[in-house]
Structures are given as C-alpha cells and as structure tokens.
C-alpha cells in the first residue's frame, strides 16, 4: 500500500510509523508546511519521500491521511481533489468532524464517498515528526464518523488501517462526536489555558507559580498543547464549546452559592460524588 500523509506531525507521523511497523505500507510520501519537519520525518524513516505539495502527495496513493490543524482542511481538500484516483481512500485525524465533513463535501464532489472521517483520541503536548511514535494509538480510541456515501469496502479499508495501528475503533455520528468531545476534551483544554493565562498575567505571577505543586501541574498539562491546533478546534466547534462553557459557568455559580451559604454538607457531597464518579471511570477504563 502506498500511503500519503498530509501533515507529518505527531498524529500523521505516528500513523505512518504504526502502519509501517504492522507491515501494511510499502511506501509513504509526506507533504506539509515545514520543510525542516518533513526532512526530519524522512531521516526518522517515517516517510520515504517528500512531495512538493499535498496534491502531488495524494497522486498515486492508495490511502491519504490528512492530519493538519482543521482550519486548513478546506484548502487541502480542494488541493488534493483532482489528484485522487478512483481506488484511493481518504481519512483524516481532525479533532472536530462537522466542519471537516463540510469541507470535504464542498471540495471533493462525488469523491466524498472515498472519504471516511476519523478522529484518533490520542494526543500529547508534544508535536511534530520528532514526537511521532509507532505506539501512539495502541489501545487508544479512534472514532470513525462514516458518511452515508461510504461504501462498505471503503469503510473497511480505513477501519482496517486504524485497527492495524492498535486502536480501538468506535463509530459516532459527526454531530454526536462534536458534542461529546466539546464536553470531555475541548472544554477542559480551554479551562486549563484560561487558568494558566490568567495566573501568568498577574503582577505576582512568579510568586504564584512558585507555590504551584503537582496538582496544578497535572491540571494544566493540556495548557501546553499546540496553540494553532486548539485555536482551530475551538473555532470549528464553537457552538458546542460555547454551550459547554455556559453550562460550566452555571455549575461554578452553584458552587459559589454553596460557598456563600457556608453549606459544607452540600460541598462535601459534590466533592465525594465527583471523586466516586472519577474513580469508577478510572477503574472501568483501565
């Protein structure tokens, strides 16, 4: 199988490495914005060749993975559309799905049937080809949001590829995907970014950071994520994210009222229920 990876970063690079390790690809070509990153990817044997652009990469590929920040998808789909052969399948790694699908529909025309949208729920603060790893997707969830246009064999080829990376495959409707991820991923990222940004901007920031401990470090780990990627996610999913933000502020208002009332019983119940729920989740997911 000849694979084209558009965006050879943490996700795109890991996909290529995992498929290579699984013996599923014979040749990988990469395209992307940063020449230095592509050269590193070639040195690391993540890709065999560097294409001059996305369209050239997609030409003659059996499978194309688009793994760029989601705001670039409209332009990337438009660029590759003419190069996509009839037997080629496309997938992606975008963290939002409604916008990616809309971009694909708009650019690909009838070739939309060849595109099976995917979101590997596996990230890290690191980015770029330097961080790619053949094991990134192992036991991680990859969500497919198939289109009514996808023929079963097309779907199967894409699902097989992600499965060969070691991922656990589930399917969701795109709308459901974006709603779920807004709550458990996009909102927490914004909350962590907001806290660190606020503290960093205070006159006594240095003192505050000096007393931040392990709890703060873990709480804010996701605030070290890729700013451009998260800008794009927030804008692409802004309706769902705004709804989550509003809802969450309502919950903070509840806690403010408990504090003002000095209602220790209700506070302790809330904390205990949260702890119990989290511990059940950890147990069930391990």
How many angstroms separate the CA atoms of 80 and 2, rounded? 16
How many angstroms separate the CA atoms of 22 and 194, rounded? 40
**Is residue 175 a contact point for a copy of itself (CB under 8 A)?**
no
Q: Which stretch binds a copy of itself (CB under 8 A): 6-14, 59-67, 75-83, 253-261?
A: 253-261
Tokens coding 174:
């795109």
Q: Which is nearer to a copy of itself, 87 or 275 (CB)?
A: 275
Q: Which stretch binds a copy of itself (CB under 8 A): 39-47, 74-82, 146-154, 177-185?
A: 177-185
How many angstroms separate the CA atoms of 158 and 122, rounded? 17
**DSSP single-letter state for residue 184:** I
Instruction: Please give the size of the binding site for a copy of itself, defined by CB under 8 A.
Output: 89
Q: Which is nearer to a copy of itself, 52 or 201 (CB)?
A: 201
Q: Which of 143, 144, 147, 174 binds a copy of itself (CB under 8 A)?
A: 143
Smallest distance from the beta carbon of 28 to a copy of itself, in angstroms?
Answer: 26
**Is residue 131 a contact point for a copy of itself (CB under 8 A)?**
no
Smallest distance from the beta carbon of 23 to a copy of itself, in angstroms?
Answer: 27
Q: Which of 106, 133, 156, 220 binds a copy of itself (CB under 8 A)?
A: 220
- Count CB neighbours of 46 within 10 A: 24
- The b-or-e profile of 204-238 (16+ CB within 10 A means b, else e) is eeeeeeeeeeeeeeeebebbebbeebbebbbebbe
**Is residue 140 a contact point for a copy of itself (CB under 8 A)?**
yes
Q: Which is nearer to a copy of itself, 148 or 262 (CB)?
A: 262
Q: Are 25 and 16 in contact (CB under 8 A)?
A: yes
Q: Which stretch binds a copy of itself (CB under 8 A): 1-9, 108-116, 152-160, 271-279?
A: 271-279
**Is residue 216 a contact point for a copy of itself (CB under 8 A)?**
yes
How many angstroms separate the CA atoms of 172 and 163, rounded? 16
Strands 118-121 and 63-66: unpaired
């Amino acid at each position: 199988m000849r694979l084209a990876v558009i965006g050879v970063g943490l996700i795109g690079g890991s996909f290529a490495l995992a498929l290579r390790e699984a013996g599923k690809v014979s040749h990988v070509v990469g395209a992307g914005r940063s020449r230095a990153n592509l050269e590193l990817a070639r040195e690391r044997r993540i890709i065999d060749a560097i294409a001059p652009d996305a369209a050239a990469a997609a030409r003659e590929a059996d499978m194309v993975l688009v793994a760029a920040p989601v705001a670039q998808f409209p332009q990337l789909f438009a660029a590759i559309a003419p190069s996509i052969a009839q037997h080629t399948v496309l997938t992606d790694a975008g963290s939002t799905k409604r916008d990616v699908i809309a971009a694909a529909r708009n650019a690909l025309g009838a070739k939309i049937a060849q595109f099976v949208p995917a979101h590997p729920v596996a990230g890290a603060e690191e980015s770029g080809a330097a961080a790619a790893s053949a094991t990134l997707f192992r036991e991680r969830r990859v969500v497919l949001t198939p289109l009514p246009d996808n023929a079963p064999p097309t779907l199967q080829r894409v699902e097989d590829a992600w499965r060969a990376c070691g991922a656990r495959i589930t399917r969701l409707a795109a709308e459901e995907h974006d709603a779920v991820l807004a709550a458990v991923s996009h909102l927490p990222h914004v909350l962590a970014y907001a806290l660190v940004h606020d503290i960093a901007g205070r006159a006594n920031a240095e003192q505050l950071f000096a007393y931040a401990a392990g709890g703060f470090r873990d709480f804010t780990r996701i605030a070290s994520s890729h700013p451009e990627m998260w800008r794009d996610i927030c804008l692409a999913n802004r309706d769902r994210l705004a709804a989550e933000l509003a809802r969450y502020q309502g919950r903070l208002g509840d806690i403010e009222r408990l504090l003002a009332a000095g209602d220790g019983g209700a506070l302790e119940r809330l904390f205990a229920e949260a702890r119990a729920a989290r511990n059940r989740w950890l147990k069930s997911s391990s």
